[in-house]
Chain A
């Protein structure tokens, strides 16, 4: 060995010992951060469920009486039953809608299928809060079309409020998820199955029923489960459409209870614990049934043009029905919302053109709290979303590409927030910030909201990054390791550059989600940290439907702009 070789070797050795610490520090740092993030909203709730007084008091008694009281409470069983009906309704109706629409747009030659499919999925880009406002504007008791129908045409009117209306709007809001899963299953399936069936003499409808639908079984069961969970979680729809009729789900129960002057903290915590356990069981069941891999179902197909089923004489009637469907469910409500934002009143009795105004928008931008909520949302989405994306990337790297002994628990942990409804995240973090001295800084700034939103959407981002990391052959990092790179060096110089597109996709997904998120924010925001969603709610409570519509339109415009920009400029496709 020459002198320089020896020098290099000792230099390399020093580097190795220095970076040898960096790798475990980074890995365990990510693990610790994830643990803190995931359990910090849960621990206070667990704690509170076993004490008689509110948890911020000094004189605490440990007790099981909270659970005892909850189990004998008639009202609680009512709430569970309603929550079950509502969630099951959403799951079944939205999955049926999504699957049917997917089969029609992917597998048949129905005219206009591209547009119909696109319009059908719009609600997933707006929030269910906005969709609920839109529906009320058009189909609510004083809505434009309700009034036209009942008063101008003199026909019996409907009542949008109550369980059925909630299920219908909820299903419209979440139907895009089954649609995407079914679309991807159908695109990847081999069209020759269907051709074979037709050659055997099966009719068109029979082929659809006997061959195509069974192909969808995994996508269907997955969608049912996801949307069942979504039904338990959602706050806006039961709050806006259920509360006025006394239809109370778990989310609204929590919301109203915490909003009281003397909330029964113990009861809230116990109810939350039970729901958490139930959700965790559901998700475990789903893993058991569908296997590990399906967690990362990616919504993307092979580049294979499926042979389409010819509908023949049914082509036009079906297309017409579908157009009516998406128009009634999506186009009219959103058009109504847009119209409402630009007029003083929206009724069939006054021509909208005579009451045109910019006033609603002016109000939003002139009142400080309202305008601030837009900037806050953008800040949280831009900055918080970025940190959340970075953390998710770190989690995926440790869980999938390291030999850290905790990688399996980490993977489980990172997906656990799927089981935690947004309201619970909000309550739990609120209590954590109150309970732990020094954490007040989180509460009084948007950082607290960033933490809550990150916790909520880690599974989404992990699910978006994991497949693109999986597409990078493991030999690429092995080659870097044998070449002399530490794990950190490999991550930094090989994996991160290669996974950048997946990271960008996850970031945009998080940006959009953070922009629309409000359920976990309703308990956490304080004056100064309002976000669009919380402002929408408080405007609605004040009965200012004009500004509500204006702010909702602003949110839709922001989301649309981000989606379009990322599609056009960066080639990133949302949700497939």
Chain B
């Protein structure tokens, strides 16, 4: 196992767009880092640069005491990097049996047949595939194929394990099981792991560290708790599962906190540095922090109902509050004909950002 250090990685494609734009990462030996971000943000490209499947323009990639790439000297080819990789499509070789698929990297490393056999059996046990070694890939279910791919990547004890959306081809139930199984396995083997996904649940439940990516850059880097609890930008807040954004204005500030007006109500918020009186702010509210108010008082926000949806045991309202559209859950039905809604807000569960054109536009859809 080895520590991974990536610094100032840049990669653009012929069409000129920078797929990876100055990305730096460091990952201690044995830890799990997740690259999280929307489609096209450069996660796979970053991973492929680490694996040696893409050649960056500049930056350095170091694994343990070996430099895999640096701008001046170029990179060493993927076959010499000693990484294990699992692809989204699993990429099992269809003309080889499960055993031959797993044996392939061992054969390349000149490991004698006897030892090969033992190691294949071991790894097959670890991924619970013992009885399927003689099957061909197309004779396996999606979940089994995914485990073969994992076994193939682990069997030669690579210095690092790279996983590119390995669970996204599984159905929802299986994915949940595989999630638990995979992270338990990684903890047990203590293999340094970089995991790529666009699913925030996977990222939050499995990782030691998360790097949220946006347009080729790292938007925020931290533990799942930090990312979820204190998103650094509206983009991160949005992506990590906060669904509502409200507009507000800072009325007063003393030290770390201040009063913020949201529509016709006022709340006390913890204010980040650099937010002053009179600033417009964007409030990212988790689903649970916005509720249909039981009583109308000075701390309820009033909005206009745009649409109501009956969800079986609850109601969901789409409302307009101070120029932003929000979704609000309620247990009780607001009678037809009433087109205003009273909403309560829990400031402790919200994150607050200063509005500056660029970020707020994207977040406050």
Contacts and interface: CB of A to CB of B under 8 A. Distances in A.
Genuine A/B complex? yes
B111 A8 contact: yes
Contacts of B210: none
Interface residues on B, range: 20 to 34
Contact of B93 (A8, A16, A480): A480
Contacts of B109: 8, 11-12, 484
Contacts of A486: 77, 79
Interface stretch (A301-309, A490-498, A510-518): A490-498
Contact of A481 (B53, B82, B111): B53
Interface in A467-492: 473, 475-476, 478-486, 489
A484 B104 CA distance: 9
Given A481-B78, A498-B95, A489 B108 contact: yes
Interface stretch (B83-91, B173-181, B222-230, B343-351): B83-91
A78 interface: no
A484 B95 CA distance: 18
Given A12-B110, A478-B91, A484 B79 contact: yes
Interface of A is mostly: helix
A540 to B, nearest CB: 49
B57 to A, nearest CB: 14
Nearest to A403: B55
Given A11-B109, A480-B93, A481-B77, A475 B104 contact: no
The 10 closest A-B pairs by CB, nearest first: A479-B91, A475-B91, A483-B105, A482-B85, A481-B78, A484-B108, A475-B87, A16-B80, A484-B79, A497-B95
Interface of B: 48, 51-53, 55, 77-85, 87-89, 91-95, 104-105, 108-111, 149, 152-153, 156, 162
B83 A482 contact: yes
A496 to B, nearest CB: 10
A473 B89 contact: yes
Given A8-B111, A482-B83, A498-B95, A20 B77 contact: yes
Interface of A: 8, 11-13, 15-16, 20, 403, 473, 475-476, 478-486, 489, 493-494, 497-498
A480 B104 contact: yes
Contacts of B48: 478
A11 B80 CA distance: 12
A494 B52 CA distance: 19
B78 to A, nearest CB: 4
Contacts of B91: 473, 475-476, 478-479
A481 B52 contact: yes
A391 B195 CA distance: 40
Contact of B79 (A16, A476, A497): A16
A149 B360 CA distance: 88
Nearest to B149: A479
A294 B338 CA distance: 61
A16 to B, nearest CB: 5
A181 B18 CA distance: 39
B77 A482 contact: no
Contacts of A475: 87-89, 91
A365 B88 CA distance: 61
A473 B89 CA distance: 9
Given A11-B109, A484-B109, A494-B93, A478 B87 contact: yes
Given A16-B77, A20-B77, 19 more contacts: A473-B91, A478-B51, A478-B53, A478-B91, A479-B87, A479-B149, A482-B51, A482-B52, A482-B78, A482-B81, A482-B153, A484-B80, A484-B109, A486-B77, A489-B79, A494-B93, A497-B95, A498-B93, A498-B94
A481 B84 CA distance: 10
B77 A479 contact: no
A484 B77 CA distance: 9
Contacts of A482: 51-53, 78-79, 81, 83-85, 153, 162
B28 to A, nearest CB: 19
Given A475-B91, A497-B95, A483 B53 contact: no
Contacts of B94: 498
Interface centre among B53, B89, B92, B153 (most CB of A within 10 A): B53
B97 to A, nearest CB: 13
A8 B110 contact: yes
A369 B89 CA distance: 58
Nearest to B157: A5
Contact of B152 (A11, A15, A483, A497): A483
A493 B104 contact: yes
Contacts of B85: 478-479, 482
Nearest to B156: A484
B14 to A, nearest CB: 10
Given A12-B110, A497-B95, A498-B95, A484 B105 contact: yes
